[in-house]
Structure 1
Amino acid sequence: MSWQEVCDNPKLQNLPFKIELNNQGQILMTPVKIYHSLFQGKITGLLYSNLTDGDVLVECAISTKKGTKVADVAWASQERLKVIRNEVECSIAPEICIEIMSSADTKREMTNKRKLYFANGAAEVWVCSEKGTFEFFTKTGKSNHSLLVPKFPAKLHDA
């Protein structure tokens, strides 16, 4: 199954799950809890208050060599948006890809997604824990803070 087929299938619309594809075109569904949506909103607001010349993408589908992965939140520059704006899934990853951990996620899965996002052009990948704390990664490894958004907090307030 392709990402276009997933998007066009009326039976897959409005599901309370995050949907991705593996490299065999099989659908992977992960249920999300309310904190997940709450964190997406908080992260979106913080990105807009700290960055200009780009936009936030929520539930951003990204084509990778192992299928379509969906970043919970992403930020893309205007330059990158010119390339991906009208695509079904991003042919190149936004500069920042953010994953919010759920009880179904594993560290290994996050490591694999990080590698896939970097291989497709991401500059940073952030992982937000269920408690709202962040780990920031660049292509060279873990960082104490975001290099693209140095004022972004290491923990979401009221999380």
Structure 2
Amino acid sequence: MPLTIELCASEEQTAFNLHRWAEIQADPELRRLPHRIETDRHGRILMSPPPAPAHGNRQSRTAALLIDLLAEGQVVTECPLSTSDGVKAIDVAWLAPGREAEVESSICLMRAPEVCVEIISPSNTGAEIDEKVALYFEAGAREVWLCGLDGKLTFHIGSAGNCRASWTLCPQFPTAVPRADPTRSPGCRASCQQSQ
């Protein structure tokens, strides 16, 4: 029988997360590691190996599409977010206009970006992804998008259990993240067409 522990977001947890994240950021040994670093709610470091090239490919394509399709606002990759279960790194995030100062002045966001995108890796479990989706909504996300191993997206709107085939903040976003082709990237496509 699974055990569920309710984690309450609190000012104390946020202050603890920010203090611990500042320590981690300042540690020269940790900065040299190629691993992705997150923390749990107790400040313990959780490391995972760098993702496979396909993961980075989908991550960069998602970011490029968001930049092209949502000209206003800010796109951030590997975005640290303070949650009730420690600091989590969002693969791709979009923040609404007016939140630029948060990105430039903080080491870790205290409120979730409006759109949080997780690129699924083969090592991710369903429970792990469900937990992240719930944590992002608890921290204030409006939408959480999951990019599967095949590039297909599922969209959670407003709550972890509300899964849809569509989205509201970027309705023109495709339902699958295409593989990267540098000659077909949105920015290159526009400049290549102008040069012809």
TM-score class, shorter? over 0.9
3-state SS, counterpart of residue 168 of structure 2: coil
Q: Which residue of 2 aligns with 1:149?
A: 170
Percent identical across equivalent pairs?
36
Q: Which residue of 1 aligns with 2:43?
A: 25
Give unmatched runs, 5+ long, in structure 1: none
Q: Which residue of 2 aligns with 1:10?
A: 28
CA contact (8 A) 2:58 2:178 kept: no
The within-5 A match list for 1:69-88 is 69-88=88-107
* TM-score (norm: length of structure 1): 0.93
Which structure carries more strand by proportion?
1
**RMSD over equivalenced CA pairs, Å:** 1.5
AA at the equivalent of 1:125: V
How many residues are matched?
159
AA at the equivalent of 2:175: A
User: Which one has the largest radius of gyration?
Assistant: 2
Q: Which residue of 2 aligns with 1:61?
A: 80
Which structure carries more helix by proportion?
2
Aligned partners of 1:44 and 1:83: how far apart in 2?
18
The within-5 A match list for 1:56-135 is 56-135=75-154
Q: State the 1:55 CA deviation.
A: 1.0
CA contact (8 A) 1:30 1:104 kept: no
Aligned partners of 1:56 and 1:15: how far apart in 2?
25
Write the deviation string for residues 25-67 of structure 1: whole angstroms up to 9, x where unpaired: 1111122111111111100110011102211101000000110
Give unmatched runs, 5+ long, in structure 2: 1-18, 181-196
3-state SS, counterpart of residue 100 of structure 2: helix
AA at the equivalent of 2:141: A
